Homo-oligomer: A and B are copies of this chain.
Amino acid sequence: MKIIHHPIGIIHSPFTDLADMPIQPTGAASAPGTVELFSEYVEGLKDLDGFSHIILIYHLHQARRVSLTVTPFLDSEPRGIFATRAPTRPNPIGLSIVRLLKIEGNILFIEALDILDGTPLLDIKPYVPAFDGHPEARTGWLERTQARLSKTRSDGRF
């Protein structure tokens, strides 16, 4: 079974290289970026400007291979791909929750960006703490390493 998706826009960011990127949005609080939604979808943006955070779902277009275990940036041990956010996934779908600053026409101004410049956008969803916030969640292998997150940058290993 094949599921076919089409880009609905392009994400623009300061990051043109897989190396030296923030590895998650919390490491990139001051990095600005834009989402260019293709004009035929602009009607779908109605009311989105009331949300301070949005979920971007995108195609990890630079992920060229699949690897079911990876050694994450924050770790020295191989972990199952589904226990990481690394890009070498069976379906290279990326997910970031970013702050929405403003919308002008088909351009969304965002910050806190960990996305490669030119990334094809698949979907935008509103971020809703009542659905998406689980502050009590346990985070397994990441628990020992989270404190280092905001200072860690990628090194191009994927």
Contacts and interface: CB of A to CB of B under 8 A. Distances in A.
Contacts of A55: 95
A140 interface: yes
Contact of A91 (B2, B6, B126): B6
Contacts of A82: 41, 44-45, 48, 54, 123-126
B44 A81 contact: yes
A7 to B, nearest CB: 6
A117 interface: no
Contacts of A50: 83, 138-141, 143
Contacts of A136: 52, 129
A1 B119 CA distance: 13
